[in-house]
Amino acid sequence: MSLVVKEKTEVRLVFLGAAGVGKTALISRFLQDTFEPKHRRTVEELHSKEFDIGGAKVTIHIMDTSGSYSFPAMRKLCIQNSDAFALVYAINDPDSLEAVKSLRDEILAVKEDKFTPIVVVGNKTDRHGERTVSSEDVLSTVELDWNNSFLETSAKENNNVLEVFRELLQQANLPSRLSPALRRRRETFPKDGNKRPPMNKTNSCLIS
């Protein structure tokens, strides 16, 4: 008797991080290709987008969470029910990086799996003169110590935003045929995206 392996047709991504780091801006840039410069406080919003890939429909659910962490029970439930996580900090806010470290610990504790798909995102690279967090230090910690992926982005300038979602979907083990669809969409985005720091190891799972 042959076994039929059913491919995953839904995936749930969660964006976590301190208030004001740009979680909503990254999601809006990906879904609508828009950017709202004024910070709007998020409570919790779920966005769903369906991709038609090779005749198969894949639904991506994206959870945009509050940065206030006032609902720990809700956040724990959210973590339990999700497939991959973007932990966002701002490159001009060291405290937001500390929040990322705490959130990662919480995710691993709730999931009880050290291989949970996590992408650490340093946002606001457009704030060139305001950087207070070293990309080299974060890269070393995230990829060598944590064995997670790291990207720097600018939602404002649309740098590396699509790459964050590609990495999340790749780690969440979506059907491989999703990649060409994302690549086709990428052609409509600016080509001169922000370059990420050089890799320090050869076995990274980042998409080249």
The superfamily CATH assigns to domain 10-186 is P-loop containing nucleotide triphosphate hydrolases (3.40.50.300)
pLDDT at 55: 67
Mean pLDDT of 71-76: 78
Angle at 139 between CA 66 and CA 37, to 5 degrees: 40
Over the stretch 179-201, which tens digit does the pLDDT of each residue have? 545 544 444 444 444 444 443 33
Strands (E), the chain: 10-17, 44-53, 56-65, 84-90, 118-123, 149-152
Over the stretch 38-51, which tens digit does the pLDDT of each residue have? 777 766 788 998 87
Contact 20, 140 (CB under 8 A): no
pLDDT(118) > 80: yes
Over the stretch 11-29, which tens digit does the pLDDT of each residue have? 999 999 999 999 999 999 9
Q: What are phi and psi of 143, to 5 degrees?
A: -90, -35
Mean pLDDT of 130-153: 96
Q: How confident is the model at residue 117 (pLDDT cuts 50, 70, 90)?
A: very high
pLDDT(151) > 90: yes
| 127 against 183, higher pLDDT | 127
Domain residue extents for the chain: 10-186
Residues of the chain above pLDDT 70, percent: 75
Q: Which positions ≥6 away from 145 have C-beta within 8 Å?
A: none
pLDDT averaged over every residue in the chain:
81
Mean pLDDT of 1-12: 64
b/e 40-69 (16+ beta carbons within 10 angstroms → b) = eebeeeebeeebebeeeebebbbbbbbbeb
Lowest pLDDT segment from 67-81, 92-106, 135-149: 67-81
Write out the two tokens for 132: 């207070």
CA-to-CA dists, residue 130 to 134, 170, 172, angstroms? 11, 32, 33
| 133 against 171, higher pLDDT | 133
What is the H or E stretch that residue 104 is in? helix 94-111
